[in-house]
Amino acid sequence: MPKKTYVLDTNVYLTDATAISSFGNNDILIPLKVLEEIDKHKKRQDSVGLNARHIIRTLDELRAKGSLKKGVRIDKGRGLVYARPQNLSVLPQELDKSDADNTIISTALAEKRDNPKKQIIVVTRDINMRIKCDALDLPSEDFVVDQVVRDSEHLYSGYAELLVDDQVIDRFYDGEDIDVTEEELLAHPNQLIMMVSNSNNNKTAIAKFLGYENPLEKIINYDSVWGVRSRNKEQAFAIDCLMNPEIQVVSLVGKAGSGKTLLSIAAGLEQVLENDQQIYKKIIVSRPIQPMGKDLGYLPGTMEEKMAPWLMPMQDNLEFLMSDKRTLDLYIDNGTIEVEALTYIRGRSIANTFLIIDEAQQLTKHEIKTILTRVGEGTKIVFTGDIEQIDNVYVDETSNGLTYIVEKFKEYDLAGHITLRKGERSKVATLAAKVL
């Protein structure tokens, strides 16, 4: 197979700093415009900035081995990496020559013109850029190395239906052991199983799958958790997972108003403030600082005042559940409840804590890994989010951190997941999530 030359867009490097090693023995062409754009991100204190600094160091190490103008071998068995300036003269008049994407495309077009025997392929996460390339007869691809599912519809839901005879459901309610085989059901540990009668669809029973060597287990039906009651079977299962200390990693996916954040905080408060066993010493609620729409820019005031707008959704849920702001402030002051931005979790070691990460769909897999490696003994971590509401331009429904954790942890008995399908906030919120 003839070698190919890949031209990687800036967003590829900022998504995965090791991207240049993902193309086998094929060559990598780096437009100077890409280097310029990477440099603009190197001071950021998030995964994007981390990736920018990493690729800069990698290229500097390669530069020490030879000339990037002539090409330097990435590694044994890998191709060459080389840099090229743009050539705006090859662009059609209709394209804005000051646009960064067009500048990168011009580098690829010039390389194709000067080396007609080479197969030049542009790799970018930008859909519109791929459309432009197609219009210019320039092959292009998406960068899919981080995708763990084909599309959002194939994301593990944590839910499965099992058709059974009437008497099986009766026996289950009577306390008899009900076993399932792989031939009957392909399931994962801590999966919600809905048993449905094959003769009467209205006759059902919900259970939890623990493994093929164990019988199906009844869901613990809590009357209330910190005053919050489940309103559907998915919420009941979510509470069961949240209250079970043996399930140390919980992921909840759902649309706005499905109750994922409220249930998580309620379960945390119940176990930290009401549980006599005191498994967890404190509750930490956190979320990434990712604006919806246009960024408001720098905010005035102290650190606490700067963070307040970003953390307000978490604060709202806490105030709703506590019903007494003075009591909430007291718990915050003594460190029993912490509300903080995710930015400052790096370097911490979090033990004996009920840790909630809200809006986890805004995170990359590398940020998820950073968070999980901070977890110490006795800590339970809960990830919540809606993969249809992503404001981070470097991830999508198939490559974000929440999707990653759901798919990668589904095989392990220390993890539990459920997708909350029904909205329970209000009729307006439910209708908006459905039709808009």
- Give residue 292's pLDDT: 42
What is the pLDDT at residue 279?
86
pLDDT at 387: 94
Cβ neighbours around 429 below 10 Å, total: 15
d(CA 187, CA 427): 33
**Strands of the 191-197 sheet, one edge to the other:** 159-164, 191-197, 204-209, 217-218
Residue 315: pLDDT band with limits 50, 70, 90: confident
Lowest mean pLDDT among 179-193, 304-318, 388-402: 304-318
CB atoms closer than 10 angstroms to residue 369: 16
Q: What's residue 354's pLDDT?
A: 96
Domain ranges of the chain: 4-141, 223-435
Q: What is the pLDDT of residue 295?
A: 46
Q: Which residues pair with 343 in a beta bridge?
A: none
Overall average pLDDT of the 246-254 stretch: 97
Do strands 80-84 and 27-31 pair parallel, antiparallel, or not at all (unpaired)? Answer: parallel
Whether the pLDDT of residue 309 is over 60: the answer is: no
Residue 93 clears pLDDT 80, i.e. is over it: yes
Q: Which residues contact 3 (CB under 8 A, 6 or more apart)?
A: 25, 26, 27, 79, 119
DSSP string across 268-327 = HHIIIII-TT---SEEEEEE----SSS------S-HHHHHHHHHHHHHHHHHHHHS-HHH
The CB-side HSE value for 324 (13 A sphere, CA atoms) comes to 4
At 14-66, the pLDDT tens digits run 988 889 988 989 999 999 999 999 999 999 877 788 899 999 999 999 999 99
By C-alpha distance, which of 213, 262, 220 is closest to 243? 220
Mean per-residue pLDDT for 402-417? 96
Binned at pLDDT 50, 70 and 90, residue 301 comes out as low
Length of the chain in residues, anyone? 436
CATH class of 223-435: alpha beta
- % of the chain at pLDDT higher than 90: 63
What's the pLDDT band for 433 if we cut at 50, 70, 90? Answer: low
| The pLDDT of residue 155 is above 90 | yes
Check pLDDT > 50 for residue 189: yes
pLDDT, mean of residues 1-6: 85
What class does CATH assign to 4-141? alpha beta
